[in-house]
Amino acid sequence: MKEGIHPKYEAVKITCSCGNVIQTRSTKTTDFRVDICAACHPFFTGQQKLLDTEGRVEKFNKKYAKKPSASKPSTESKTPSATH
C-alpha cells in the first residue's frame, strides 16, 4: 500500500442508549453514540411481532374467492337465430 494516502484506522468505542458498549475500529477517530444496537433492537431480540393489522390477506381472499355460479345467465337466448 502507498504511504500517506489512507485514512487513520483507529480503535473507537460505540455506546448505545441502552448502555451497551462496543469496541471496534473506524476511520472516525472519536467515540460516538447510537440510538439502537443489536442488543436492544426488537428484531434481533425476538420481541418484534409481525401483524397484518389491515387484514390485507383476508381482504384479498374475500374479494377473489370463487363464488358458486348458480344464477349465470344462459347465452343461448342471446344468439341470433339462423332461420332466415
Show the DSSP H helices in 27-78 as ranges: 42-45, 56-64
Grade residue 23 by pLDDT with cuts at 50, 70 and 90: very high
Domain membership flag for residue 30:
yes
Pairing assessment for the beta strands 32-34 and 10-16 based on DSSP bridges? parallel
**pTM, whole model, 2 decimals?**
0.45
Give the total number of structural domains in the chain.
1
Q: What is the pLDDT of residue 63?
A: 87
Residue 60 belongs to a domain: no
Residue 11 has pLDDT above 90, yes or no: yes
pLDDT at 4: 85
Cβ atoms of 14 and 31 within 8 Å: the answer is: yes
Cα radius of gyration rounded to whole Å, the chain:
33
**Host domain of residue 29:** 7-46
53 inside domain: no
| pLDDT tens-place string over residues 24-80 | 999 988 898 888 887 887 666 666 666 666 777 788 888 888 877 666 555 555 656
Domain of 32: which CATH number? 4.10.80.400
